[in-house]
Amino acid sequence: MSWQNQRVDDRLIHGQVVVAWGGALRFARLYVVDDQVAATPWERDLLADAAPGVGVRILTVAEAAAAWPAEQAAAGGAMLLVRDLRTARALVEAGAAVPRFTLGGLHYAPGKTKVAEYIYLDEADRADARALLARGVELLVQDVPAARPQALAALDPGVAP
Amino acid sequence: MSRIPALLVTHVDLGAALVAAAEQIYGPFEDVGVLSNTGLARADLERLIRERVAAWSHGGLVLTDFPGGSCQQCGLLAGRGHDEIIVISGINLPGLLDYLHNRERYPVGELAERLMAKARDSVRVQRPPQA
């Protein structure tokens, strides 16, 4: 079964991930792909404790790209988290065959414009989204399992190639 | 003993609602801040918590709603390196009321343990009497 969902969320592990997605998918492993977190021991420890009952694995982009095929063949389900589209793009460009990313939470910051209630993008984000779409990666917007997934390109013409 | 301050960090308006409910039972009170995570990225929530607890010269309690959630994690990130800042998750109304009654009686560590026990003990399963 393995990869069940790949999510872009600037909060990484939090309530929606643990309760809503964890309850719906029953994934056995939760991958956090983030070079900064992977390099910070106390932050690794903090995230490792944030999802009780789930095997939390914190990897760099390079480590995750290398681990992608083995996880794809593993028993049980897995969910993957990255904090932004830049990391999502880096993961794909490093060789991970990610079929789609679900944008679950990219919150407001100066310079970003609203795409959905919980998705704000700037021009750098849009460039990363275009690069992912050009590689055939599907980009959806969906915060929780009960919500209807929508194509990012349908919500934001700015990401159209 | 000086009063131990607290900051409620919760999803949506839960913190404000807890304060309103507690004021109805306890009466008006001060030194309890409220912060919602609505619309905030992890880094922004962490920064706002850090700004709010910066004035706590003798420590305090960050009270959050959900273990493993962004409020708890950002509270821990914001309090990193401060021995006297303690993060509690799973706060409920009995726990908040117990904090209000005892925040000038105990040092922060003992107050946190007491609050946790009170909040935990208040979750009960009972069946109504059968006529």
Q: Report the percentage of chain B scoring pLDDT > 70.
A: 100
Residue B83: pLDDT band (50, 70, 90) is confident
Going by C-alpha positions, the residue among B36, B96, B95 that lies closest to residue B70 is B36
Residue B40: closest C-alpha in chain A = A107
Is residue B1 over pLDDT 90? no
| pLDDT single digits (tens) B27-73 | 999 999 999 999 999 999 999 999 999 989 889 999 999 898 999 99
Q: How distant is the Cα of B26 from the closest Cα of chain A, in angstroms?
A: 30
pLDDT at A153: 96
pLDDT at A160: 81
Contact B68 A13 (CB under 8 A): yes
**DSSP-derived secondary structure for chain A:** -EEEEEEEETT-SSHIIIIIIHHHH--SEEEEE-HHHHT-HHHHHHHHTSSTTSEEEEE-HHHHHHHHHHHHTSSSEEEEEESSHHHHHHHHHTT----EEEEEEB---TT-EEEETTEEE-HHHHHHHHHHHHTT-EEEE-SSTTSPPEEHHHH-GGG--
Residue B131: pLDDT band (50, 70, 90) is confident
Mutant choice from B38, B49, B70 vs A, greatest count of A C-beta within 10 A? B70
| pLDDT single digits (tens) A7-44 | 999 999 999 999 999 999 999 999 999 999 999 999 99
Is residue A151 over pLDDT 90? yes
| pLDDT single digits (tens) A49-87 | 899 889 999 999 999 999 999 998 899 999 999 999 999
- Interface list for A 18-77 with B (CB within 8 A): 18-19, 42-43, 46-47, 49-52
Name the residue facing B41 among A10, A15, A43 (closest C-beta). Answer: A10
Name the residue facing B42 among A12, A15, A42 (closest C-beta). Answer: A12
pLDDT at A58: 97
Q: How distant is the Cα of B57 from the closest Cα of chain A, in angstroms?
A: 24
Contact A107 B69 (CB under 8 A): no
Is residue A1 over pLDDT 80? no
Going by C-alpha positions, the residue among A87, A131, A91, A133 that lies closest to residue A106 is A87
Determine contact: A15 vs chain B, CB below 8 A: yes
Contact A109 B44 (CB under 8 A): yes
Going by C-alpha positions, the residue among B73, B47, B19 that lies closest to residue A43 is B73
Going by C-alpha positions, the residue among B25, B30, B17, B28 that lies closest to residue B104 is B30
| Cβ within 8 Å of residue A65, ≥6 positions away | A91, A94, A95, A96
Q: What are the residue numbers of the active site of A?
A: 14
pLDDT at B57: 87
Question: Which runs of E-coded beta strand occur in chain B?
Answer: 6-10, 32-36, 60-64, 85-89
pLDDT at B56: 92
Residue B76: closest C-alpha in chain A = A46
pLDDT at A68: 96
